[in-house]
Structure 1
Amino acid sequence: MDFPQKPLSQLLGSNGPVHAVSYSASPGTYILTGSADRSIRLYNPSPSATATTAAGRPSSLSSLPLPEGRLIQTYSAHGYEVLSLAVAVDNKTFVSGGGDRAVFLWDVSTAQTLRRFGSSAHGHSGRINAVAFGGAGDSLVVSAGLDTTVRVWDTKSGGAGANKPVQVLANARDAVTSLVVGGSGGAEIIAGSVDGRVRSYDVRMGRVTTDVLGASVTSLCMARDAKTMLVGSLDSKVRLLDRSTGACLRTYADAGWRNEELRVQSVLGGKERFVVAGDEMTTAAAAAKDAPSSHMPTAKITTPAVTATADKNEGRLWAWDLLTGKLVAKIAVPWGGIGGTDSRKRIVGRDGVEKARKNVVSCLAWKEGGFGNQFCVGGTSGVVTVFGES
């Protein structure tokens, strides 16, 4: 099986960087995106028609812009950027979190919020970096953020205690960046933190297991059998950990790949044959580097901003073979999408010179939890590109 890197469509409409993407639950027909413009958008990634030339013949991607996916719905309630999304198994609801310290539970069909968690003194005191569903029947929502805590909310509770978390996990010494919920009945919570630790909580047993990486953790992705965990960190490495022993089974890296400052996501894909990661550098920025950086990564994780001095603005996407660690693909992701479409307004400084733009590819999702036939990537350009099989 070759890595599926054919561009299929692009999702337009965001007025700022896209910080979160998520497929709907199986069969993964739709894609949700969360943006710095405070909005969440629901798309059907399949274009409404095949792109054709003026003569009516099918066109290659080099001659026409990539077809656009269909915008189905826009969800608006957040007061700041949206940083994380999770979809319930029944596809009827989803949850979001972001810079306004609030967790929203949404009804997909009505585009209305069903619950808002964290709007009182019992909520997060900083931005929310990650959200997930948990518990039997997705009855719980889990959130984690800059305030170093993981909070568990009961979606079924009412009355005076409706806005209080049922549990607060406060072991982290720095911001919690990423979450995975698994185990029987969704009773296991795994949290990655800037303090360089991955903590696995057995909620039922009241036990926590800690794996020490040293470098700040930016991303978590658990294999379907729950035996291994993919961990991205701010030392330009992605590691595959054995969950029973904490041992590092394989490290994925490249001299040209960078993840030292920004929150860049990595996932398992292609029926867990591949490790796929975004990149905080662009083609031009990478070319300017004569050698890998030797300075230690900072402990501060930020979301990418639309600033750069590079002449070229292509983002980069990397893929490694899971078993061998060999690099199998490196894909350029242009600012305006494949084919040259650029729906975003250009920014001109006071000196009248257009500001250079840097397409950091920071978020990605693979259909059906890594077992589907396509994946999507987003970043600072605000364009989400969908890739799949030829």
Structure 2
Amino acid sequence: MSSSGTAAQHLPRTEARSLSGHEGAVLAVRFNRDGNYCLSCGKDRTLRLWNPHTGAHVKTYKSHAREVRDVHSSSDNAKLVSCGADRQIFYWDVASGRVIRKFRGHNSEVNSVKFNEYNAVVVSAGYDRTVRAFDCRSQSSDPIQTIDTFQDSVMSVNLTKTEIIAGSVDGTVRTFDIRMGRETVDNLGHPVNCITLSNDGNCYLANCLDSTVRLLDKSSGELLQEYKGHACKSFKMDCCLTNDDAFVVGGSEDGYVFFWELVDAPVVARFRAHSSVVTSISYHPTKACMLTSSVDGSIRVWT
């Protein structure tokens, strides 16, 4: 058996437990930086903090007026940032559950949000075709920077130390070098609904609405590989890499999760994870453990 075949045997596809509490679709689930906790959000307008390894529900965060689309925890686990259909971005204190600040500026629904590495800046992406950056240390609620070069809704945003990388329904992934003030554009030709960086930072995955996940070289924009077999035509759905960058993981609108071998792109495993669309996948930073969420209202932990 090949080494990738042997490795594929150890991919997480046994359900360890289910995290129950959300009412209606769960739109995102995310491990925190060290993988000890996770955050979820959804149609019920709440954020929830869990210990996925015991199944314990730790806390619920309520302030959004409409569905919550995305959530991210700071690297020190002290703060959260969330965004949603109410156009709001909330900056939270984890322990008290208090909203420290509401960032404003988007004039439509906000799809994606991230902290930078130093937890000092929050970057968001929205239906208003913009990416906006906010200073967590300032008392101001207004953006410190707005990027408005997209032609359609911006669905996903990621950060490196020096760059903002965002994917849009206009079929582009745009990289903004913050220090140089330079923008580079990769035109994928199909609507992009999720982008994820590889763990080594050299590549990125783009989940596109032609039911294809694409792997691109971050510096050159070269298309390295395409991954197919799943259904992704109308929902915002995550894709990611395993923590060793050996396999690509993606959800499907029929409730399946797919694993592809990174280099040659065969489907090495697929299984039914949910009864409806798999909205989100989060892979543990060090262990063979994975979280999935779904329109069916469930969050599942896989080992």
Which TM-score band (shorter chain)? over 0.9
User: Distance in 1 between the 2:150 and 2:282 partners?
Assistant: 26
Give 1:7 deviation, angstroms: 1.0
Aligned positions of 1:49-198 closer than 5 A: 69-118=55-104, 123-134=105-116, 137-158=118-139, 162-183=140-161, 187-198=162-173
Give 1:225 deviation, angstroms: 2.2
1:40 and 2:47 matched: yes
Find the counterpart in structure 2 of residue 13 from structure 1.
21
The question of whether the paired residues in 2 share the 8 Å contact of 1:271 and 1:372 is answered with no
Find the counterpart in structure 2 of residue 277 from structure 1.
250
User: Distance in 2 between the 1:372 and 1:175 partners?
Assistant: 34
The question of whether the paired residues in 1 share the 8 Å contact of 2:274 and 2:294 is answered with no
SS at match of 1:138: coil
Unaligned runs of 5+ in 1: 48-68, 283-314, 336-358
User: Distance in 2 between the 1:200 and 1:224 partners?
Assistant: 17
Give the RMSD, CA atoms, in angstroms: 1.1
Q: Which of the numbers 265, 270, 292 marks the counterpart of 1:325?
A: 265
The question of whether the paired residues in 2 share the 8 Å contact of 1:178 and 1:218 is answered with yes
User: Distance in 1 between the 2:235 and 2:119 partners?
Assistant: 30
TM-score when normalising by structure 1: 0.74
Find the counterpart in structure 2 of residue 51 from structure 1.
none
Find the counterpart in structure 2 of residue 291 from structure 1.
none
> After the TM superposition, which segments of 4 or more aligned residues of structure 1 sit over 2 Å from their partners?
none
Give 1:221 deviation, angstroms: 0.7
1:218 and 2:193 matched: yes
User: Distance in 2 between the 1:279 and 1:224 partners?
Assistant: 23
User: Distance in 1 between the 2:301 and 2:123 partners?
Assistant: 28
Give 1:38 deviation, angstroms: 0.1
User: Distance in 2 between the 1:372 and 1:176 partners?
Assistant: 31
Give 1:46 deviation, angstroms: 2.2
User: Distance in 1 between the 2:282 and 2:188 partners?
Assistant: 24
Offset from partner CA, 1:305-356 (integer Å, 9 cap, x none): xxxxxxxxxx211110112201011111244xxxxxxxxxxxxxxxxxxxxx
Find the counterpart in structure 1 of residue 241 from structure 2.
268
User: Distance in 1 between the 2:220 and 2:53 partners?
Assistant: 42
Q: Which of the numbers 196, 220, 236 marks the counterpart of 2:211?
A: 236
Q: Which of the numbers 269, 278, 282 marks the counterpart of 1:365?
A: 282
TM-score when normalising by structure 2: 0.95
Give 1:270 deviation, angstroms: 4.2
User: Distance in 2 between the 1:149 and 1:75 partners?
Assistant: 26
User: Distance in 1 between the 2:71 and 2:191 partners?
Assistant: 22
User: Distance in 1 between the 2:134 and 2:219 partners?
Assistant: 28
The question of whether the paired residues in 1 share the 8 Å contact of 2:243 and 2:284 is answered with no
In structure 1, give the amino acid aligned to 2:153. A
The question of whether the paired residues in 1 share the 8 Å contact of 2:158 and 2:197 is answered with yes
Unaligned runs of 5+ in 2: 1-6
User: Distance in 2 between the 1:140 and 1:148 partners?
Assistant: 20
Give 1:262 deviation, angstroms: 1.3
Find the counterpart in structure 1 of residue 4 from structure 2.
none
The question of whether the paired residues in 2 share the 8 Å contact of 1:96 and 1:104 is answered with yes
Find the counterpart in structure 2 of residue 383 from structure 1.
298
Give 1:190 deviation, angstroms: 0.1
Offset from partner CA, 1:169-219 (integer Å, 9 cap, x none): 000000000010013xxx310000000000000011110000000100011
